[in-house]
């Protein structure tokens, strides 16, 4: 991957698009082009080494007997199985967090170096600690229920676990906007009431029930821009980063909001939920077949006796990580299709292709985005179409309309 990303791949612009609005040379300076190329290559390389590194860490924890050590520590002075499993997870979670901390710190410093992050170290550490506890508590609930099911049903645990993931996923989507997101940033009603009225007018045209647009203070953390519609039911929210408000014109903001509304109108949230539920079913079933086979064959090497023992958790996490990585091309393809559909909806709603083009150009500039990423990088990393494709789609749409 190093040679592919840094030496073999070409992210040049097709001849037919050179000099057009999709060509980054027309809207980015030479320095921005250089920084974009450098930053993208480093980020892409980190992505492709981190996942295999995660697999190696889990194998190391199992093969060295460290998992058994965590299990013994969790049994000291504790009676209840649930509490013991929770203690084991804490030791495992803390160990991996410490192990990957240098990588996370490097990524933070990299983002600062290239002018994407504006966050000071103390603020970043605060978010890092919040991430740790939010991730730990969420995982703790899953692990406790999962290993309880493994104890009561050796054959059908995967089916029961899958059935329980459905209400849990819906619950997490419901509380995300009002409990989890505010832990990181302050949300408040949009200060620009004239703009809020125009956004709500778009929402009304799209039949989105909303009385307020929320603004979030991201300028103290990043120069990147974003906007989204999140949550379900009464907790659904239209959210704008203040960086988007500060750096884009009104027409560009309205186009971006129309794009986010397109996801809502076309039920992408619910389609994504259905896909998650289906993929979870397949994933749990595969693990129920693969994991016992691995324990039977390599249990002595991995130091695992039975799947229901909590020290088998690193193997469980390894298989999940492996399947997620292998499924990335499919999930990303679906996501890119949905993003394209949301772009088309936004163009239909706003009737302003110039704002669409300029908003994509500004997003690429501020985020130092790779306008035309290499093929393998695109299929494994990109949940959105490349900026080259998005801008060119607007141009094609305009031609079709004319």
- Which residues have a catalytic role annotated? 260, 343
Dist CA 53 CA 193 (whole Å): 48
CB 24 within 8 A of CB 33: yes
User: What number of CA atoms fall less than 13 Å from residue 249's CA on the CB side?
Assistant: 12
CB 347 within 8 A of CB 397: yes
The answer on whether 7 is annotated among ligand-binding residues is no
Q: Which residues pair with 216 in a beta bridge?
A: 187, 241
The answer on whether 37 is annotated among ligand-binding residues is no
Residue 164 corresponds to which tokens in the numbers above? 């329980």
Residue 341 corresponds to which tokens in the numbers above? 């559909």
The answer on whether 263 is annotated among ligand-binding residues is yes
CB 213 within 8 A of CB 189: yes
Residue 211 corresponds to which tokens in the numbers above? 């009385």
Please state the residue numbers annotated as binding site.
Answer: 259, 263, 339
Q: What residue numbers does the annotated binding site for Zn(2+) cover?
A: 259, 263, 339
């Amino acid at each position: 991957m190093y040679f592919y990303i840094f030496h073999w791949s070409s992210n040049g612009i097709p001849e037919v698009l050179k000099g057009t609005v999709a060509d980054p040379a027309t809207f980015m300076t030479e320095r921005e082009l250089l920084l974009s190329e450098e930053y993208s290559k480093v980020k892409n390389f980190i992505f492709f080494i981190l996942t295999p590194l995660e697999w190696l860490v889990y194998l190391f924890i199992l093969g060295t007997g460290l998992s058994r050590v965590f299990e013994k520590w969790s049994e000291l002075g504790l009676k209840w199985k649930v509490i013991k499993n929770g203690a084991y997870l804490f030791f495992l979670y803390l160990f991996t967090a410490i192990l990957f901390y240098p990588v996370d710190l490097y990524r933070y410093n990299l983002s600062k170096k290239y002018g994407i992050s504006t966050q000071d170290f103390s603020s970043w550490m605060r978010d890092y600690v919040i991430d740790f506890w939010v991730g730990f508590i969420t995982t703790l609930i899953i692990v406790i229920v999962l290993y309880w099911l493994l104890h009561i049903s050796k054959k059908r645990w995967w089916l029961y676990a899958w059935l329980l993931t459905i209400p849990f996923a819906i619950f997490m989507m419901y509380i995300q906007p009002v409990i989890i997101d505010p832990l990181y940033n302050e949300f408040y009603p949009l200060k620009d009431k004239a703009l809020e009225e125009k956004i709500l007018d778009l929402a009304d045209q799209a039949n989105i029930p909303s009385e307020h647009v929320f603004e979030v203070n991201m300028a103290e953390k990043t120069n990147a821009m974003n906007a989204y519609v999140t949550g379900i039911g009464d907790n659904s929210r239209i959210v704008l980063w203040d960086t988007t408000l500060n750096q884009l014109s009104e027409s560009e903001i309205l186009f971006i909001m129309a794009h986010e509304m397109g996801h809502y109108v076309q039920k992408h949230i619910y389609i994504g939920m259905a896909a998650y539920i289906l993929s979870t079913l397949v994933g749990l079933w595969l693990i129920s077949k693969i994991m016992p086979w691995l324990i039977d064959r390599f249990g002595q090497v991995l130091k695992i006796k039975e799947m229901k023992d909590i020290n088998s958790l690193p193997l469980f996490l390894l298989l999940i990580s492996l399947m997620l990585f292998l499924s990335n091309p499919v999930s990303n393809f679906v996501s890119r299709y949905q993003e394209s559909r949301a772009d088309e909806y936004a163009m239909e709603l706003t009737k302003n292709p110039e704002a669409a083009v300029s908003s994509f150009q500004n997003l690429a500039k501020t985020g130092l985005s790779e306008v035309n990423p290499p093929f393998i990088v695109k299929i494994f990393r990109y949940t959105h179409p490349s900026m080259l494709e998005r801008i060119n789609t607007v141009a094609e749409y305009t031609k079709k309309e004319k």
